[in-house]
Structure formats: structure tokens, C-alpha cells
Amino acid sequence: MKNGRNTPLAVPPNLPPLFEHQQTTVDFLLHQERALITSDAGTGKTRCVLEAFKQSDSRRMLVLAPLSILKPAWGDDIDQWTPELTWGISTSGTDKKRREAFDAGCQIVITNHDAVKWLLKPENVNLLQDFDMICVDEVTAFKNPSSDRSRAIRDLVDVFERRIMMSGTITPNSVTDIWHPVVLLDEGVRLGRSFYGFRLQVCTPQQVGPNPNQVKWLDNVGAEDQIAAKIHDITIRFRFEECIDIPERTNRMMFIDLPPRLQANYNVLKDQAILEAEDGSMINAVHAGAKYQKLLQLCSGAVYDENGNTQIFSTARSQLVMDLVAERDHSVVAFNWKHQKHELLKLADKMGFAYAVIDGETSRSDREKAVDNFQAGKLKVLFAHPASASHGLTLTKGCATIWASPTNRSELFSQFNSRIYRAGQKRKTETITIAARDTFEEDAYNTLDGKLAAMGSLLDIFQKNTAFAA
């Protein structure tokens, strides 16, 4: 099979044994048919699931995961840790191509999150008749209970008696994010069948506009304990630092001053929500969210006008990033905008650095090649978009993660920073965030830290319960 393997391989004699926390997780999965794994990135959740499946009496397992990690995080891990198991990947294409892994009889079929609706088509229901176990990796992709994809997966999981949900960032925005992943496990037994009823229990509405219906929901004090008490029996968690012996990681925010002209433009856009570029193009921010995004773009040195064209005001930020890259042997750089990517690549070429790029335009084969070359020490720097490189990649050759500008998604921020800081890392590492002084960039990073702190409080409760139970 091109995308998989339907014949077993011999188990190598020198296969490293499971870590103690991994064995505890495997034992938990073998005795718990419905399980939520919230262990940190890098703790080996995938290996635990594979080992539990191997030791169980389950016939076949369906894995739902982000498209970008089907092969590198699952296919490769099967070959490395459980080579006696057969596997195949089912992705978009013709129906015949998507059915290949199912029809080949592979013990594990790996497919992407968006496949849930395809699997529910009447002509495809028979594909799952031999499956009795499902694992949903990065289950926060289904945290919105009202999305079409989330409604589809609720029907899909009914096929499976054994269910595993996984995420190291289970509540990226609010404690309410955990409701739907848990419902997928227990049909609402522990947190209730109504999302709105659950939200009323753990959150308080705060009016944010003139209309009384314009509210944001704030997590209640003690909500984490309330939730943890209800789901601790199906939840297991281990913190990365407590189970993997790894050199320390330092975090550093680097403040810079915007060039005077760029700062002036920033202030105009902030105060007036409109800016005229040097070529006469107009940049409008029609609402608060758009203004926030435009201001963050502008901090990076450029902004997009009404026609989608890039208006460049400064390249100083990109030069700073590349100066930081030059001082380190192997770095991973996070970019968020196309203009950032183009400017960074231009500078990398000028400075003679070997590099690769991973973003939405990178093919699967080029992605794998980029990772292999980086890990082999052939690349000075790997440029990556957080949405494309936050999951399933091991980049332990890197010693620094550099954020050219902030993301607005805490789970991506956390996961991306874990690409170099994971098992196999032998050096001290650093995470560098760049923020323009007295701008929304500093607020953006503080917001990310706040969300991560809130998420961490719930995860810490899970971890304590796990440690107690173990």
C-alpha cells in the first residue's frame, strides 16, 4: 500500500520499554472503555494508545487526526513502536482511493477530522462494521457542539464501544470547551446533555454591549474543580516535565520599538480605523476584530489593503528574526502572515541559510522531507505556520522557537512550542516571542498566557488525580 502497510513487520529486539507514566496510561486504557487523555505534548500519548489497542481484544481501530499528522504522528509511530500492527491512511480523493485502507483489512485506519461526514454516507457505513475502537486525536477540533463536523462525529462515535479522546490543550479558550469531547465519550452522563445548561453551571454572563443579549461568558471560580470531580474517573493526565528527563526551557519576550513612521501609522489606524498607504490604497478596519487583526499585521511591518494587496511599511521585524536565527544553530520560526513568510525567505536566501517551509501550501512529501532534513541537521532554520506545524512533529534538533508575531490561538501557541521541547531533546531550549512595545502585540501574548494559565489549572487538577490514583 502506498499510504500504509497491510503486512506485519518484525518487532526489533532493542525496542525501548514504555516509561512508567506510559505504562500507567496503557493500564488505564485497558480497564476504561471510555477515556480522555490530556497529557502534555511529548509524553507519548500515541504510543500509549497503540500499545493499549495491541493488548486489547479490539479488532480494528479508527483514528481521526489532523490531516498534517496522519503519517508523521501515527503511521510512523506504528512502524516504530508496534510494527506488528497493520495500518492505512484514508484521505480525500476518489471514493475508491479513500476506501482502500478500509478494504485492505488494515487493523488501524487513520483519517482526517473532516472525514466524519464522508463516513456517515449510507454507502460507506459498511466500512466500519469490523471496527470496535475509535481514537480522536486533538479532539478540540470538535469543541464547538453546533458545527456540522461536531454533529456528524456524535453520530459516528455511536458505532464504537471503546472510545479514546486525546488533547494536551483540552480547554484552549474556556472550561466549556471540554463539554463536547466528554459528551462524545459518555453521551452526557457526567456533564449533562445540554451545552447551554452546562455553561450556566460553570460560567457567568457579562454584558459587553448596549444590547442585554450581547454577553461574554466568564469561567466561574471553582469551575475547574467542579468539572474535574465529575470526569476524573475517565480522565488521565501526566505533565511533560514530571515524566520526561529533559533540559530546561527558558521563555523570553523581546520588546522592540516600532520605527517612528510605522508607529505613527499604527496610531492612526488605531484611532481612526482607516489608513492611507503610500500608493494611495486605503486600509479600513470595519469592526473591532478587523482593527485588531490589522494592527497586529502592521506591527509585523505590513498590512493588507482593500484589494488584498500587501502594503509594506517596514522590514525591520524580519531582519531581527533572521539575526536571532543567525546566532543559533537550528531554529524553528513561527510566522502568521504571507508577507512575513516572503520577507523571511528572501532574507534567508540573502544570508545563505539552508531552510524549509511548512504551511498550508506544503505537500505531505515535502513536509516529511523538511522534518527529516531538519532533524538530520541539514537546515539552519525551519519556517512554519502554527496552524500547519503545531501537531505531530518532532523537531528536537532545534534549540530555539522564535515567534515573528503572535497567534491568537492558545492551543497552537502551546503545541507549537512543544515541537522542540519534547522527548529526545538533549539541549537547553528557548522560546522567544517578539512584541512591539506599547502595542496590541504585548496584549496578545499576555492573553495567550492567560488562556494557558486558565487551561493549566484544570489540567493540573487532572494530573493530581492521576498521580493520586497511580
3-state SS class at 81: helix
With cell 503610500, the residue in question is 278
Report residue 165 as a C-alpha cell: 479522546
Question: pLDDT tens digits for the chain (470 residues)?
Answer: 678 898 999 998 889 899 899 999 999 999 999 999 999 888 889 999 999 999 999 999 999 998 877 887 898 899 999 999 999 999 877 888 899 889 999 999 999 999 999 999 999 989 999 999 999 998 998 999 999 999 999 999 999 999 999 998 888 888 999 999 999 999 999 999 999 999 999 999 998 778 878 888 999 999 999 999 999 999 999 988 777 777 888 888 888 888 888 888 888 877 776 665 555 565 565 556 677 777 888 888 877 766 667 777 778 889 889 999 998 999 999 999 888 999 999 999 999 999 999 999 999 889 999 999 999 999 999 999 999 988 878 999 999 999 999 988 888 898 899 999 988 888 889 999 998 888 888 888 888 877 777 777 777 777 777 654 44
Q: Are the C-beta atoms of 69 and 140 separated by less than 8 Å?
A: no
Per-residue confidence (pLDDT) for residue 469, from 0 to 100: 45
Among 372, 375, 355, residue whose Cα is nearest residue 364: 372
- Give the model's pLDDT for residue 307: 66
Report CA-CA distances (Å) from 357 to 44, 382, 440, 442.
26, 6, 27, 26
Alpha-carbon distance 401 to 334, whole Å?
7
Would you give the DSSP letter of residue 339? H
Residue 267, all three cell numbers:
496610531
Could you tell me how far CA 433 lies from the centroid of its own chain? 18
Nearest Cα residue to 459 out of 31, 84, 140: 140
Domains, the chain, ranges and CATH? 4-244+457-469 (3.40.50.10810), 249-453 (3.40.50.300)
β-pair type (4-5, 34-37): unpaired
pTM more than 0.85: no
Cell numbers representing residue 208 in the block? 459587553
Residue 443 and residue 406: Cα distance in Å, rounded?
10
**Segments in 187-337 forming alpha helices (H):** 195-202, 223-231, 240-243, 260-272, 288-299, 316-326
Residue listed under C-alpha cell 498550508: 360
| Helix, strand, coil share of the chain (percent; to 5) | 45, 20, 35
Cell output for 15: 525496542
Distance (Å) of CA 263 to CA 141, 218, 259? 37, 34, 6
Instruction: Tell me the backbone φ, ψ of residue 189, rounded to 5 degrees.
Output: -65, -45
The secondary structure element, H or E, covering residue 252 is strand 249-256
Question: What number of other Cβ atoms are within 10 A of residue 206's Cβ?
Answer: 10
Closest by alpha carbon to 381, among 340, 336, 337, 349?
Answer: 349
Listed residue (332, 345, 344, 347) closest to 300, CA to CA = 344
